[in-house]
Structure 1
Amino acid sequence: MTAQLKELFNTEAKKYYLLENRNFIVNEDNKSFLNIFCKYFSQDPDFETSHKGELRKGLFVFGSQGTGKTSSFKIMQNVSKEYSLKQVWTPIVYTQKVVEQFNLAESGKTDYVIQYFSKGKFMFDDLGAEKEASNFGKEDIFGRIMELRYNQFLQKGTKTFVTSNLNFEDIKNRYGTRLYDRFYQMFNVLELGGESKRF
């Protein structure tokens, strides 16, 4: 299954980058990442034996800006749509958009925004880049959302996916030690190295 998924991912990646007038290139910066990424989404047992990961957990993908973190998830979405592979589908939401929804919510309805994004499978893009929410007071709402998602993970096995320019030490500084500890329980951590591919 992994070999097949890698082939489908490669096909869709070429289409994806062509729309941006760029070439999809596999090199030393992303080869290992893409291999492990596809093993995870194909639920390959080798993800656990060779890479010491846990398929029951979500993914925390970090690295510098422009390395292809978000694009990798978008391409996997395209694979899901094109080849009817529901198991690799992950809704993508930008963290700043969640903050904006919270800010625009009517009085008394801000908790609805928190609860909505605390349940079900989501990929939160660019965690740590979002501003503090401001709806009758300042609040770093992703601290609350991730705490609730941690509880959902323990109770129901709900997976969370994240891209971020922050590593786990940065996460601890931004959201605190409590969430930092929970992240180790919730996520497989994958780094996508290299320089920006946006140029």
Structure 2
Amino acid sequence: MVNVNFNEALKNLQIAKVDVIRKATSFSFGTVPECKKLFEDAFKYVDHTARPFIWQHEYDHVVNWMHDTRGKGLFLTGDMGRGKSVIIMQVIPLLFHVKFRKNIHPVSAEEIPNKLEQIANRPFVCIDDLGTEAAVNNYGERFEGFMRIVNVCETNLKPLFVSSNLNSEQIMKRYDERTLDRIARLCKVVKFEGVSLRPQ
């Protein structure tokens, strides 16, 4: 049997500035009741539509994620008008700034073709309405920018926050199976179902 001292090897690698440990940063916004109140207060604070706030069952999944993110971001998918964009574009940035003084800069997916590198290089990647963007055209080379963003997030274990009306099959068809697999690894996926909550 070989006697291996990983601790000694790790110390030597750290001295040589070689990082071999892969571990995503986890966050906790508090206990589940604290997270529920924080989420509701933040949602009410940023959402000034005419409709009153009504708790939706999908929010419970977001609250459980807030209690312990387990190193994952959020991927909100499903029916339109259920609050996915409000959560990704307003609530998440507000919560991270209030609790951790972290600045998250959300973007619309339509900005990906023109701001691909800027988006991919941010410490937190936050994209609304995935699937509405055009392909990137880089001197005649056309490719899906979101696939490159997901690769960067996976390589660097960056938190990824996304909303989309696309389902799993549509994501796999537009991007690929590898991207779908990486989304599942990087994010807690929450499916939003039901009628639109937007004022009629």
TM range (shorter): 0.7 to 0.9
Cα distance in 2, alignment partners of residues 119 and 89 from structure 1: 10
- Evaluate the alpha carbon distance shift between residue 16 and residue 148 of structure 1 in structure 2; reply closer, same or farther with a 3 A threshold: closer
What aligned pairs does 1:81-92 form with structure 2 within 5 A after superposition?
Answer: 81=97, 84-86=98-100, 90-92=104-106
2:152 matched residue in structure 1: 148
- Evaluate the alpha carbon distance shift between residue 115 and residue 11 of structure 1 in structure 2; reply closer, same or farther with a 3 A threshold: closer
Deviations 1:75-98 (A, max 9, x none): 2433455xx312786431211112
Cα distance in 1, alignment partners of residues 79 and 100 from structure 2: 29
Cα distance in 2, alignment partners of residues 11 and 187 from structure 1: 24
Which has the larger Rg?
2
What aligned pairs does 1:1-199 form with structure 2 within 5 A after superposition?
Answer: 1-17=31-47, 19-26=48-55, 30-31=56-57, 33-43=58-68, 55-73=70-88, 74-81=90-97, 84-86=98-100, 90-101=104-115, 113-114=116-117, 116-137=119-140, 138-153=142-157, 158-198=158-198, 199=200
Given that 1:114 and 1:144 are in contact with CA atoms closer than 8 Å, whether structure 2 keeps it comes out as no
Cα distance in 2, alignment partners of residues 75 and 184 from structure 1: 22
CA-CA distance at 1:61 after TM superposition? 1.0
- Evaluate the alpha carbon distance shift between residue 169 and residue 87 of structure 1 in structure 2; reply closer, same or farther with a 3 A threshold: farther
Greater CA deviation, 114-123 or 181-190?
A: 114-123
Length-normalised TM-score, structure 2: 0.72
Given that 2:65 and 2:188 are in contact with CA atoms closer than 8 Å, whether structure 1 keeps it comes out as no
Given that 1:76 and 1:89 are in contact with CA atoms closer than 8 Å, whether structure 2 keeps it comes out as no
Amino acid at match of 1:36: H
Report the RMSD for the aligned CA atoms in angstroms.
2.3
Cα distance in 1, alignment partners of residues 33 and 101 from structure 2: 16
Length-normalised TM-score, structure 1: 0.73
Given that 1:118 and 1:146 are in contact with CA atoms closer than 8 Å, whether structure 2 keeps it comes out as no
Amino acid at match of 1:94: S
Unpaired stretches in structure 2, ≥5 consecutive residues: 1-30
CA-CA distance at 1:60 after TM superposition? 1.2
Cα distance in 1, alignment partners of residues 53 and 123 from structure 2: 31
SS of residue matched to 2:130:
coil
CA-CA distance at 1:147 after TM superposition? 1.7
SS of residue matched to 1:60:
strand
CA-CA distance at 1:9 after TM superposition? 2.1
Cα distance in 2, alignment partners of residues 116 and 184 from structure 1: 20
SS of residue matched to 1:173:
helix
Cα distance in 2, alignment partners of residues 89 and 9 from structure 1: 17
How high is the sequence identity, in percent, across the aligned residues?
26
